[in-house]
Chains A and B, each alone.
Chain A
Amino acid sequence: MSVKGGTTISEILKKHDASLLKDWLKEMDASGVRRDDLMKEAELQQQSKEFIGLVREAAQNGDVADIRGANWQQVREFLIDVSRTRAQQGFSPSQTASFVFSLKRPLFDRLRAEYGNDAAGLANEVWTVTQLIDGLGLLTAEAYQKTREEIISRQQQDMLELSTPVVKLWDGVLALPMIGTLDSARTQVVMETLLQKIVETGAEIAIIDITGVPTVDTLVAQHLLKTVTAARLMGADCIISGIRPQIAQTIVHLGVNLADVVTKATLADAFSLALKRMGVGLAKLQPQKVG
């Protein structure tokens, strides 16, 4: 049955090539798949045409039911590519999947015209086509999902890298401006980067600035204390700066003991303390006289 079905589909695709494409585009219009703001009409037309051509070729060469087969390779690659671009362009998942699903109605219309009164044959053929289109649609959705996941994990990676800069303020003074919510994974990275940097630069004082940390709970406080202790074990002193009034209140209410840690309200205060400990003083330059 499937072999006969195969020939029928490819025949239909060959015979009604142009009209099928027109109907399909109309169908896409109706179901809201077309997004003129994201994609040009000509591009969509080109894609659709290519897709029909590829399906026809694949259906001609072999089994229609088995879209995992070798002869569907090109169709699969094409769909995955389309799906990936759409995910990046900002199409919604249903819009991306509907690109394939909206082909159903035009195809069924052609089948009905072809079979006329042969109800059994029509039912068979409809089943084959449904299976085919559903399979391709699912493939599209899967590829879309995968692309999205890739984007998310890449962004996470970017954030992780962005969020842990260790900057050198002075010879022997490092600063670590923390931004965003702290979780275990991030603090671990922060701790490792800081300690590594201490080894590399031989810094004696590290300033941890938490101005950009929105909330401090017991876990975050514990992480901070761990970082401070680890730095102390390596022979560097830590100063925590940028503690906002609300955070100071929270820390006290939570009963976190920061008594052993030097804390300052602003990064500037911490820096001037660090300079003092290094035995460095800052003075204004004498104003230059003109003429």
Chain B
Amino acid sequence: MDRIPILQMGRFLLVTIQVDMHDRLAMTLQDDLTDRITKLQAKGVLIDISSLEMVDSFIGRMLANIASMSRILDAQTVVVGMQPAVAITLVELGMSLPGVRMALNVEKGMRLLRKSLSENGMTEDDAQAGTEDGDGVVGQSQ
């Protein structure tokens, strides 16, 4: 069964969705991602949906779910590169994805993640230093 690859960049995880999402794929992604976040102690998740051209309410909800799961696991989620047609569809479906942060492209999304990381008193070097979970941050500032 095909999976959506999850790439690691320091303390960030990068997910690029390049195929049409079907429900099983979405569920697998959800499982994989939560696993990887805990295993790698990731501080940020970046989901690139720039090649996603079709969404339904299920995929919309899945994006929202992934964002809240990551937040509980102490990782910020940024969704980047949403197509205009997809945005219009989601709005028409009544899904405004509150609580999910958005950015125009990967570059801006990364900047957003780094900013939120430094707001929490961590530098990227700390983040890249690896497995030691030495930051004294108890909760994420929302």
Contact = CB atoms under 8 A, between A and B. Distances in A.
B80 interface: yes
B77 to A, nearest CB: 13
Interface in B51-100: 80-84, 86-88, 90-92, 96-97
Given A195-B87, A195-B88, A226-B91, A234 B108 contact: no
Interface residues of B, number: 19
Contact of A233 (B96, B105, B108, B109): B96
Contact of B84 (A192, A203, A204, A229): A192
B102 A234 contact: yes
Contacts of B82: 233-235
> For this complex, into which size category does the number of interface residues on chain A fall?
10 to 19
Contacts of A198: 84, 104
Interface of B: 80-84, 86-88, 90-92, 96-97, 102-105, 108-109
A255 to B, nearest CB: 18
Contacts of B84: 192, 195-196, 198-199, 230, 234
Contacts of B97: 233
Interface in A73-93: none
A229 B102 contact: no
A191 interface: yes
8 contacts: A199-B84, A202-B105, A202-B108, A233-B87, A233-B97, A234-B84, A234-B102, A235-B105
Interface in A163-222: 191-192, 195-196, 198-199, 202-204
B17 to A, nearest CB: 15
Given A229-B96, A232-B96, A235-B102, A204 B88 contact: no
B88 A191 contact: yes
Interface centre among B80, B87, B102, B108 (most CB of A within 10 A): B87
Contacts of A232: 96, 102
A200 B102 CA distance: 17
A232 B80 CA distance: 11
Contacts of A231: 87
Contacts of B104: 198-199, 202-204, 234-236
Contacts of A233: 82, 86-87, 90-91, 96-97, 102
Nearest to A226: B91
Given A233-B82, A234-B82, A235-B82, A204 B108 contact: yes
Contacts of B102: 232-235
Contacts of A204: 104, 108
Given A204-B108, A229-B91, A234-B82, 8 more contacts: A198-B84, A199-B84, A202-B105, A226-B91, A230-B91, A232-B96, A234-B84, A234-B104
